[in-house]
Amino acid sequence: MPVKLPAAKRLLAHPVKALLCGVALLLSQPLSATAEPLKLGDQSGLTQALLHAAGEDQHLAYALSWHPFLAGTTLLEALSAGAIDAGVVGNAPPVFAQAGGFDIRIIGVASGAQNNNALLVPAGSSVQQVADLKGQRMAVAKGSSGHYLLLAALHKAGLAPRDVNIAYVSPVDAQNAFASGKLDAWAVWYPFVGQATSRGARVLVDGSAWPETGLNFTVASLQALSDPQRAGPLGDLFARLARAQAWPLSTLRNGLRCSRKPPGFPLRWCRKCSRIRIFTTCRSSRQSSLRSSVWPICLPLSV
């Protein structure tokens, strides 16, 4: 059964201060110019778009090199291999990655919109509940937050993975198959959810019933954290990311208009993906709750 998250009273009113709790040591590092750019993994360009929209990509004392990924699992593979220094992923990929022996470190955790993950069915589908998917064809990226949502939804409906036909494919391949009518369901996350629903797809179930589906982890390689030339910029970037994540909330709350259009994505998608609450504790208790709610993987998560 999923483990419930702490009560709202455990949350800080100030999201930026809370998100920084896991990186005090990073922020204490001197911020010096680096010879090489800080290499950042980014899923579908969302992190870069959010930093840009919030104006947090300005006046940097270091260079950034953005590396696109379609899923958190492949981002973490690159992180473990030293191809990138840091990135942001959803709830399940760090569990799978560290269970698989990947050498990564979680430096922060935020709670985002739980309905960013969804199980979709095509327009005109006769499927009305998850139980109707028995024997049907569906796709998901293995080890992703969508994978966790799919397993949780099947379990709640009294189905096992063997009761459905699951194809483990990339979001782009699944998107094409879904659009061409080759799939009966697709478990995925934003921005793919927004793209699909704008074309008529219907949300059968989303992550609202499972609070842990809204967790987002900021991860870094031990190599980067141990390098004084990269630790300082990482701390500064993390502070900027915290402000950028809080920015859509303050923009909506204050009725402000965005003058910086996120490249490649409608602003409403960045707002949708960034309605966050930040936990006061950015350490193992959160990841332990997540681990036990996904599978009984008896491996500690490194923080």
Can you give the residue ranges of every domain in the chain? 8-113+213-294, 115-210
Token pair recorded at residue 237: 């970037």
Q: Which CATH number fits domain 115-210: 3.30.300.180, 3.20.20.70, 3.40.50.2300, 3.40.190.10?
A: 3.40.190.10
Give the pTM: 0.67
Rg over CA atoms, the chain: 19
Amino acid at 243: R
Long-range own/partner contacts, residues 99-102 (CB < 8 A, 24 or more apart): 99/297, 99/299, 102/76, 102/77
Q: Is 217 helix (H, G, I), strand (E, B) or coil?
A: strand
pLDDT in tens, 222-234: 899 999 899 999 9
Please give the CATH number for the structural domain made up of 8-113+213-294.
3.40.190.10
Q: Of 27-31, 33-37, 165-169, 290-294, where does mean pLDDT reach its minimum?
A: 290-294
* Whole-number average pLDDT of the chain: 76
Q: Kindly tell me the burial class for residue 105, based on how many C-beta atoms sit within 10 Å of its own C-beta (0-12, 13-18, 19 or more).
A: buried
**Percent of the chain beyond pLDDT 70?**
70
**Percent of the chain beyond pLDDT 90?**
41
- H/E stretch holding 185 reads strand 185-189
The size of the chain, in residues, is 303
pLDDT in tens, 29-73: 555 555 689 999 998 788 888 888 888 999 999 999 999 998 888
Same fold, 8-113+213-294 and 115-210: yes
5 DSSP 8-state letter: P
Q: pLDDT at position 291, please? A: 40
pLDDT in tens, 186-202: 999 888 999 999 999 99
Q: pLDDT at position 147, please? A: 93
Give which of 297, 175, 233 is closest to 38, Cα–Cα. 233
Is the pLDDT higher at 33 or at 276? 33
Q: Can you tell me the distance from the alpha carbon of 291 to that of 144, in angstroms, rounded to the nearest whole number?
A: 13
**Strand order, beta sheet including 185-189:** 165-168, 137-140, 185-189, 117-121, 202-206
Region of residue 59 (left: phi > 0; alpha: psi -120 to 50; beta: else) = left
